[in-house]
Structure 1
């Protein structure tokens, strides 16, 4: 997500403990930039309420407040020589803390460098200095945001990225299917090889069995012949002794 600045708010704490707005400025294309987001960034009044309730302003400090809708509120509290100032900006979540603090310190804080402004700010009423400060605020917001694509361009980038992700998932699935098909083909080849081996083994076993049967038959016939000859010889001998032959 881009890190565009949606708005900038300058405010200062009062003696009574309230928070007084000094100046503000919104991104000139904020409507176009947020049209794809159902949640809109907070306005300057809402920002000041957040600062008053959640930020300590009696010493130098900075930080970030996470907001709904994918926005961040960055702030820098500085006890300046002329007044305690709170410099704030609302941005998209793509803006890192270091980048936001640099934007506030080096750009927005420089707006207060004029001695004429410093002399009157502590006695000024809300937005008395808006006409003097807002042009510079808008200039710095524009300079920062010009480096990012428009909301429509970003939408197309996001859609293109999603399409690429879907294509990659489909390609990965096809590759897995092909790998699975190759494994199945290998299993079929192995099964066929085993089937061929089994058939060959059965054929060989039958040949061996037939060979041994034939060999056993041969020896059986020889044994029968020997026994027959022996029996005949005995019978003839007995008959000869008895004078029969």
Structure 2
């Protein structure tokens, strides 16, 4: 019975050693995961900061583009306004002189005919 008890004790010691090995491996894995989680957390913080910078930059760019568009709209409006004004002036200039020579020609024939 003594050898049987020592076999059982040796078997239990072997199982304890196996469990200890598994526990040591598991603790190592937990430490690795902890390090990876810290690195992941740091990376998440960096991404959050980069996202904030990106959002600020996009707002600034959108505002700059809005001002550029407004500038071009003003330029186009002024250009169209000047073009319309120029067309009105051209119509007035060519319409008025063409009616004056006809009026003066009829007056001269009337004056000559009455004499």
Structure 2 residue 25 is the aligned partner of structure 1 residue 145 = no
Structure 2 residue 115 is the aligned partner of structure 1 residue 215 = no
Higher relative contact order (CA 8 A, sep 6+): 1
TM-score by length of 2: 0.66
Identify the residue that residue 131 of structure 1 maps to in structure 2: 6
From 230, 233, 237, the counterpart of 2:108: 233
Residue 199 of structure 1: CA displacement? 1.4
Larger helix percent? 2
Give the 3-state SS of the residue equivalent to 2:64 in structure 1: helix
Q: Which runs of 5+ in 1 are unaligned?
A: 1-123
Structure 2 residue 79 is the aligned partner of structure 1 residue 185 = no
TM-score by length of 1: 0.37
Question: Any idea what the Cα deviations from partners look like across 1:77-129, whole Å, max 9, x if unmatched?
Answer: xxxxxxxxxxxxxxxxxxxxxxxxxxxxxxxxxxxxxxxxxxxxxxx8xxx93
Residue 198 of structure 1: CA displacement? 0.8
Q: Which runs of 5+ in 2 are unaligned?
A: none
Larger strand percent? 1
Question: Any idea what the Cα deviations from partners look like across 1:190-213, whole Å, max 9, x if unmatched?
Answer: 222211111111121122222222
Identify the residue that residue 72 of structure 2 maps to in structure 1: 197
Give the 3-state SS of the residue equivalent to 1:148 in structure 2: helix
